[in-house]
Amino acid sequence: MATMRAAVYTTFSGPIIVQEVPKPTAPVGGLLLRVKACGVCRSDYHGWKGLDSDIVTHGLPFTPGHELSGVVVKLGLGTTKFQVGDRVAVPFILSCGSCRQCARNRPTICEAQGQPGFTMPGGFAEFVAVPRADRNVSLMPPKVSFLQAAALGCRLTTAYRAVMQQGRLQSGETVGVFGCGGLGLSAVMIALAAGDNVRVLAVDTSEEACNKALELGAWHAFNAKEGASLAPARVGMTQSEPMPSAVNRAAGRSTRPKRRFASLGRR
């Protein structure tokens, strides 16, 4: 039996060990991917702690990793959109295409979704079997690196749904982003790309995260831990305004009628 190397944990919160495991085959309608890059995010941590019901249902041992990109090495029966050698990015939600949510063009909340790294073995391995490839997998433009592509499938798609589909952000609007880790900074970038004159108010407890948000083009950033607001000259607020009231004002405004509030977080 052909084998490959993969990172595996056999107990929740236990050691993660690289070991030889059976090499998967290309599933019907899918492809076999040689993994070139795989991101890690907090959902991986939750899964490893035993807090993810999909992983609990799958059972141990388990190989995590849901933010992956790589090269197609084999096509499954019925897969038509790809060729061996293609560079591809895999979203962490593999939608079915036929449920109620897919019919509404809401594939990220597909009722029958599969997820590498949660419902099936993931990307911390040499190879991953990716089902439903024609519908879900994307070809990578040559100028996009494997590392960059691996960052797209989880945080960017999640933030996109919040900002564009749930938030329905329009030109000229102001959006507050509370928490500027990978997900929040993706929301900042998407909001700024969404239309003209969009203003982003970024809030985090880390100065580094606040500065990153400003670097990406946020209109204003609040360090909620220090009670300091960064770059006050860029907004109509004054530095003397107490930070908590400014943040409360922003949050309160977002939940008034005609304002929209989206809370993100997979687990």
- Binding residues vs Zn ion (CB under 5 A): 41, 43, 95-96, 99, 102, 110, 154
User: Residue 106 to residues 8, 93, 182, 243: CA-CA distances in angstroms?
Assistant: 32, 11, 22, 37
Is 125 in a helix, a strand, or coil? strand
Of the two residues 52 and 222, which places its CB atom closer to Zn ion in the complex?
A: 52
The strands making up 220-223's β-sheet, listed across from edge to edge, are: 174-178, 199-204, 220-223, 228-230
Of the two residues 132 and 220, which places its CB atom closer to Zn ion in the complex?
A: 132
Of the two residues 41 and 247, which places its CB atom closer to Zn ion in the complex?
A: 41
The residues near 99 (Cβ < 8 Å, ≥ 6 apart) are: 110, 111, 112
Of the two residues 37 and 99, which places its CB atom closer to Zn ion in the complex?
A: 99
Closest approach of Zn ion to the CB of residue 199, in Å? 27
Closest approach of Zn ion to the CB of residue 181, in Å? 11
Query: What is the C-alpha to C-alpha distance for residues 260 and 215, in angstroms, rounded to an integer?
Result: 25
Closest approach of Zn ion to the CB of residue 218, in Å? 22
Closest to 92 measured CA to CA, from 212, 182, 220, 222: 182
Of the two residues 67 and 204, which places its CB atom closer to Zn ion in the complex?
A: 67
Closest approach of Zn ion to the CB of residue 118, in Å? 10
Closest approach of Zn ion to the CB of residue 236, in Å? 36
Residue 75 β-bridge partners: 31
Closest to 140 measured CA to CA, from 41, 63, 36, 65: 36
